[in-house]
Amino acid sequence: MTTAIIITVSWNWSRVLKPRPKGRTKLVHPNPANKRTVNFATPIRAFVKQHASDLNGSQKFALLVAYLAKGDSHKEVLMIDVEKQWNSMKPLLGGKLNRAHPTRAKENGWVDSPKRGVYVVLPHWKDIFDA
């Protein structure tokens, strides 16, 4: 005696044929860039981790100068201090400090250098989040 077993398989073709998104999708922040709140009371590593993940090198440089100056455009920050902090956070900032970052940050109007080895953050430094 032979018994036949019939199995019915149904496919959901709508799931199978859906195109996959190409490339990485960009993370959308809950706060738009121009309304981003910046809290300088946050410890420096947490501050950098929170704000620098989607920035390029010159933007990260401006962010770090802004943090060290606590957003005050009249406070001077030594390059030695910036470099010291940058090198202590290489994994968060993407490697060692490239000396082109300060130049590009000045070109974009985020920081200025009144004298050699000294930087000040400019009033429009928050534009780093829009660029």
Containing structural domain, residue 66: 39-129
Strand locations in 8-117 (E): 77-78, 111-115
Q: Domain count for the chain, please give it.
A: 1
What is the pLDDT, as a whole number, of residue 68? 96
Flag whether 21 is in a domain.
no
- Domain with 90 in it: what CATH number? 1.10.10
| Tokens 């429009």 -> residue | 124
In angstroms, the CA 124 to CA 111 distance is 9
Asked, for residue 10, whether it belongs to a domain, the answer is no
**pLDDT (tens place) for every residue of the chain, 131 residues total:** 666 666 665 655 555 555 656 666 555 555 554 457 889 999 999 999 999 988 999 999 999 999 999 999 999 999 999 999 999 999 999 999 999 999 999 999 999 999 999 999 999 999 998 87
- Asked if residue 14 is part of any domain, the answer here is no
pTM above 0.85, yes or no: no
pLDDT for the residue 37: 83
Which pLDDT does position 57 carry in this prediction? 93
